[in-house]
């Protein structure tokens, strides 16, 4: 009799557990309330492309409700700037890379959903498609020109970049080189006036006992010397007498931040992972 009562108690416990699962079903609640989005996978075989070309892609998508209201290829645009200015005087190089978001992501091409897209092996709908890259995203480049073009410099090189180059070049020059440029080559000042901007510091070599004299820029004189250097035209500073080229280089290129988006029957938009495409 005790054995039967034990089994009956276990049966009651199982029934209560099943009833609780039916009442408190978190997965069922999600499905019933419709709080789910489509699953999306997206791949780009070739992430380097040219402006005006078509980019091939592959996408998979599926949703619990098996309803799809919109499919589309989205991308945003990032503009990448690169400046590289090299001095022909001492090979000092100023390089700057910067990135700017030119356009926030938006849908650039829509696709229709078809039942024929379903792939039973993938257990998902599949699209093998392509989308265009505008010709306006062509790369712009100025690289080691044989002739100096001031209009190109004014158009492509911001004043802040030119200022940074002059400041970096000045910091890289020692007394003798600065004197050669400002006094000898371009005669922007005389030697006596030039020397008033320096102190002479003497140090004794601990090994040889030799007294070593070093010219050090006086406090407050750096702006005077840099002001003279700024009077030397850029074309005189970037000309390479060995290569016979002007080494003021500029590149403007673009990157597409692409993704595939799907709106399912619950009007929920979901995206795949982003893929970056370099345009050259």
CB 189 within 8 A of CB 183: yes
Query: What is the chain's pLDDT, residue by residue, as a tens digit (280 residues)?
Result: 444 434 444 444 444 444 444 433 333 333 444 569 999 999 999 999 999 999 999 999 999 999 999 999 999 999 999 999 999 999 999 999 999 999 999 999 999 999 999 999 999 999 999 999 999 999 999 999 999 999 999 999 999 999 999 999 999 999 999 999 999 999 999 999 999 999 999 888 888 878 888 899 999 999 999 999 999 999 999 999 999 999 999 999 999 999 999 999 999 999 999 999 999 8
Residue 43 lies in a domain: no
Residue 167 lies in a domain: yes
Residue 149 lies in a domain: yes
**Residue 219 has which token pair?**
């406090």
What's the pTM?
0.75
| Tens-digit pLDDT profile for residues 192-215 | 999 999 999 988 888 887 888 889
Q: Range of 188's domain?
A: 145-246
CB 279 within 8 A of CB 251: no
Which is it for the CA torsion 9, 11, 13, 16, positive or negative?
negative
Split into its structural domains, the chain has a count of: 1
Residue 105 lies in a domain: no
Residue 165 lies in a domain: yes
Residue 53 lies in a domain: no
Residue 272 lies in a domain: no
| Tens-digit pLDDT profile for residues 49-101 | 999 999 999 999 999 999 999 999 999 999 999 999 999 999 999 999 999 99
**Residue 194 has which token pair?**
């030039």
Residue 194 lies in a domain: yes
CB 215 within 8 A of CB 198: yes
């Amino acid at each position: 009799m005790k054995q039967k009562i034990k089994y009956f108690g276990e049966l009651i416990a199982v029934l209560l557990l099943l009833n609780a699962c039916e009442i408190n079903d978190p997965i069922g609640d999600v499905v019933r309330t419709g709080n789910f989005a489509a699953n999306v996978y997206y791949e780009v075989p070739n992430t380097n492309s040219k402006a005006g070309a078509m980019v091939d892609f592959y996408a998979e998508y599926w949703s619990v409700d098996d309803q799809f209201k919109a499919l589309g290829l989205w991308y945003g645009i990032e503009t990448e700037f690169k400046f590289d200015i090299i001095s022909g005087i001492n090979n000092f190089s100023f390089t700057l890379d910067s990135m700017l978001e030119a356009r926030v992501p938006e849908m650039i091409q829509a696709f229709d959903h078809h039942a024929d897209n379903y792939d039973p092996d993938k257990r998902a709908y599949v699209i093998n498609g392509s989308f265009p890259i505008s010709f306006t995203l062509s790369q712009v480049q100025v690289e080691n020109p044989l002739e100096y073009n001031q209009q190109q410099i004014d158009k492509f090189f911001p004043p802040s970049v030119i200022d940074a180059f002059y400041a970096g070049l000045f910091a890289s020059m020692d007394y003798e080189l600065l004197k050669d440029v400002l006094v000898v080559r371009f005669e922007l000042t005389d030697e006596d006036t030039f020397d008033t901007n320096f102190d002479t510091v003497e140090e004794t070599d601990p090994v040889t006992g030799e007294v070593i004299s070093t010219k050090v820029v006086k406090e407050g004189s750096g702006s005077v010397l840099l002001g003279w250097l700024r009077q030397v035209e850029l074309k005189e500073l970037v000309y390479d007498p060995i290569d016979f080229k002007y080494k003021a280089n500029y590149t403007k290129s673009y990157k597409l931040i692409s993704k595939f988006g799907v709106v399912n029957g619950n009007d929920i938009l979901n995206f795949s992972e982003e893929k970056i495409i370099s345009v050259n």
